[in-house]
């Protein structure tokens, strides 16, 4: 064999091996029972080659991890192969681009539900390059204002607003010269602000020398309606977006104590929710998790601006107490000597049983479950308390507020077993609409029965009357024989499809509407105004597959208008 032929064969072998490697990278895990997901990606209107696209699976805690990936071709097309049946997120890996947040729990990408062997096409992405914004903050004397957080709020249609937070540390804070620069901003119309409107000037620890200013919008407006709207363009920096602030604010302290109503004894280590309201009463902040009474039942809340406040103690399982909220105003001085009375809460005791065989053993499944009691009659307080389940199925929930209480069960870790509450009994009587609980009452003899069926409900939501962009929808469903307040939730994928597995035979009510919306884009508010509520009942047979189509007809478009510039 001559040298020229040997070189030719060697070159062909290298080319063939590179083709095989590329094909394997693009088409992993070929299986005749597996399916594929494909689409096309553009960036700023042009096809994007070489962009990584990930297939992500979801855990019960909402976290995601990639199980497959591919790259786009010269024409921007991609194919994910070897996809087993299930629900996944498909997301371009592109931190410098604007990716839609239509994946699970409002995360990046799009959700896709795929059946065994199904070929899903048309999961397209029209991505945009991000921009940036910069400017300077000064006080009324022209001096730079350092260490202040600059807020950026997307102003969408119908005055819909959504804050933007950069992922770069320190991006929103002004430097010693009062200069800020916020990067990675999706293109759109924004209002820019600095300072605090009402409530607590700081949540958690901060520097003692920190100065706080009244809420001010670019360039020097005291109200959002008078702010100058700033346009941020694709792949460009918008500069000289300056703000002039007024004199610093005065801040005060709130001091009080939690006591047992009957004896006056202090109640230690109880969490507090702090609710503050704007001057016009249209806005409120709910802050919890950072405030507790100390060992003597005392609490101190610092850096409070003048305004109206409500302090609400959380249900306390340790002392088995609950408290009533107190309201007051902070005017021109500290508020001290507050007393919040705590009352005897209730205890719910019972057992959880499972009507079907499960794998792994029942004891292992029970150890991963949580039972919660939610007081429906109270929207202000933190009125949900929980209890783990013992290996024998027993549970004991303390700190339950009086009122109409509903019981729920959910998986705290591990795979989401297809177990749902079949019925709840109290001393042998079936509870269909919650449980009435009185203050200090001990209720025994509860029995929560969990079960699972083998039926599957496949559905599709069709929307008429225009596109529904920038919102994530999901279907709420419940057994018509169960608690009318207890709904489960099924997410819709990018095509409006959903699959609900493990259903027992019976009738189910499906609901979709404005209460089933997660906002993910600037058009969300307008679309919520256009959305009706759709209800439909479907019958599911034993061990059968059922199908349903929900039709949503959007209301007419509201008159076109632009927010104040």
* pLDDT of 317 higher than 50: yes
Q: Is residue 559 part of a domain?
A: no
Q: What is the mean pLDDT of residues 388-411?
A: 90
Beta bridge partners of 462: 551
Q: Is residue 250 part of a domain?
A: no
> Under DSSP, is residue 497 helix (H, G, I), strand (E, B) or coil?
strand
Q: pLDDT for 297-306, tens place per residue?
A: 999 999 999 9
| CATH code, domain with 178 | 2.60.40.1120
* Highest-confidence segment of 84-93, 362-371, 413-422: 84-93
135, 233: one domain: yes
Domain that holds residue 3: 1-25
pLDDT at 555: 82
Final residue belonging to a domain, choices 210, 245, 280: 245
Between 156 and 545, whose confidence is greater? 545
267, 221: one domain: no
Calpha distance 388→409 (Å, rounded): 10
Q: Is residue 157 part of a domain?
A: yes
Calpha distance 483→433 (Å, rounded): 5
367, 287: one domain: no
| CATH code, domain with 422 | 2.60.40
pLDDT at 358: 64
88, 155: one domain: no
Backbone angles phi, psi at 522, to 5 degrees: -75, -10
Q: Is residue 561 part of a domain?
A: no
114, 172: one domain: no
Q: What is the mean pLDDT of residues 127-150?
A: 96
Helix (H) or strand (E) holding 545: strand 545-553
106, 203: one domain: no
Final residue belonging to a domain, choices 208, 223, 245: 245
Three-state helix/strand/coil letters over 517-544: EEECCCCHHHHHHHCCCEEEEEEECCCC
pLDDT at 488: 87
Q: What is the mean pLDDT of residues 373-381?
A: 70
* pLDDT of 23 higher than 90: no
Number of domains in the chain: 6
pLDDT at 283: 83
387, 422: one domain: yes
Q: Where are the alpha helices (DSSP H) in 236-330?
A: none
Q: What is the mean pLDDT of residues 112-123?
A: 94
User: What confidence category does residue 519 fall into, taking pLDDT thresholds of 50, 70 and 90?
Assistant: low
Final residue belonging to a domain, choices 245, 273, 292: 245
Say which range, 41-45, 95-99, 100-104, 444-448, has the weakest mean pLDDT: 100-104
Please report where in the chains the tokens 């049983």 appear, as a residue: 353
Select from 506, 449, 456, 454 the least CA-distant residue to 481: 506
pLDDT at 49: 96
Q: Is residue 279 part of a domain?
A: yes
Q: Is residue 209 part of a domain?
A: yes
Compute and round to an integer the Cα radius of gyration of the chain.
Answer: 28
393, 354: one domain: yes
547, 493: one domain: yes
* Highest-confidence segment of 105-114, 150-159, 234-243: 234-243
pLDDT at 3: 40
143, 226: one domain: yes
Q: Is residue 564 part of a domain?
A: no
| CATH code, domain with 531 | 2.60.40.10
The residues, ordered by sequence, that sit 6+ positions from 348 with a Cβ below 8 Å of its Cβ are 373, 396, 397, 400, 405, 407, 435, 437, 443, 446
281, 211: one domain: no
pLDDT at 366: 83
Q: pLDDT for 181-221, tens place per residue?
A: 999 999 999 999 999 999 999 876 666 678 999 999 999 99
Q: pLDDT for 254-293, tens place per residue?
A: 999 999 998 999 999 999 999 999 877 888 888 888 899 9
324, 279: one domain: yes
Q: Is residue 146 part of a domain?
A: yes
Q: What is the mean pLDDT of residues 431-446?
A: 92
């Amino acid at each position: 064999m001559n040298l020229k032929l040997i070189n030719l064969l060697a070159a062909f072998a290298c080319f063939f091996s590179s083709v095989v490697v590329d094909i394997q990278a693009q088409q992993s895990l070929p299986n005749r029972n597996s399916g594929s997901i494909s689409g096309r990606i553009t960036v700023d209107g042009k096809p994007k080659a070489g962009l990584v696209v990930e297939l992500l699976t979801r855990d019960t805690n909402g976290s995601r991890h990639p199980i497959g990936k591919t790259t786009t071709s010269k024409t921007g097309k991609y194919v994910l192969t070897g996809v087993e049946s299930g629900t996944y997120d498909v997301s371009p890996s592109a931190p410098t681009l604007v990716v839609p947040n239509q994946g699970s729990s409002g995360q990046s990408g799009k959700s896709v539900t795929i059946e065994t062997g199904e070929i899903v096409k048309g999961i397209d992405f029209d991505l945009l390059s991000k921009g940036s914004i910069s400017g300077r903050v000064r006080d009324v004397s022209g001096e730079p204002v350092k260490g202040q957080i600059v807020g950026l709020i997307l102003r969408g249609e119908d005055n819909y607003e959504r804050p933007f937070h950069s992922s770069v540390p320190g991006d929103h804070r002004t430097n010693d010269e009062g200069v800020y620069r916020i990067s990675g901003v999706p293109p759109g119309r924004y209002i820019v602000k600095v300072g605090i409107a009402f409530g607590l000037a700081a949540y958690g620890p901060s520097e003692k020398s920190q100065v706080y200013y009244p809420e001010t919008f670019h360039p020097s407006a005291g109200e959002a309606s008078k702010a100058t709207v700033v346009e941020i363009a694709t792949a460009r920096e918008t500069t000289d977006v300056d703000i002039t602030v007024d004199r610093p604010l005065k801040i005060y302290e709130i001091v009080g104590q939690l006591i047992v109503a009957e004896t006056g004894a202090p109640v230690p280590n109880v969490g507090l929710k702090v609710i503050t309201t704007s001057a016009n009463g249209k806005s409120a902040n709910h802050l919890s998790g950072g405030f507790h009474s100390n060992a003597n039942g005392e609490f101190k809340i610092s850096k409070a601006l003048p305004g109206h406040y409500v302090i609400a103690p959380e249900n306390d399982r340790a002392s088995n107490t609950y408290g009533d909220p107190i309201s007051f105003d902070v005017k021109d001085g500290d508020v001290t000597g507050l007393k919040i009375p705590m009352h005897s809460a209730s205890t719910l005791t019972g057992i959880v049983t499972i009507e079907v065989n499960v794998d792994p053993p029942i004891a292992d499944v029970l150890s991963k479950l949580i039972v919660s009691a939610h007081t429906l009659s109270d929207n202000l307080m933190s009125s949900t308390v929980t209890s783990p389940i013992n290996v024998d199925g027993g549970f004991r929930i303390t700190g339950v507020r009086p009122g109409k209480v509903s019981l729920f069960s959910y998986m705290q870790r591990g795979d989401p077993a297809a177990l749902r509450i079949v019925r709840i009994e109290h001393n042998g009587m079936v509870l269909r609409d919650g449980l009435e609980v009185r203050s200090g009452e001990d209720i025994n003899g509860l029995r929560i029965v969990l079960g699972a069926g083998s039926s599957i409900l496949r559905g599709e939501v069709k929307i008429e009357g225009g596109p529904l962009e920038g919102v994530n929808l999901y279907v709420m469903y419940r057994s018509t024989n169960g608690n009318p307040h207890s709904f489960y939730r099924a997410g819709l994928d990018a095509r409006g499809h959903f699959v609900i597995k493990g259903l027992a035979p019976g009738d189910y009510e499906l609901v979709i509407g404005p209460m089933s919306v997660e906002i993910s884009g600037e058009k969300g508010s307008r679309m919520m105004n256009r959305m009706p509520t759709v209800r439909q009942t479907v019958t599911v047979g034993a061990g059968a597959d059922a199908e349903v189509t929900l039709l949503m007809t959007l209301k007419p478009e509201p008159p076109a208008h632009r927010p104040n510039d």
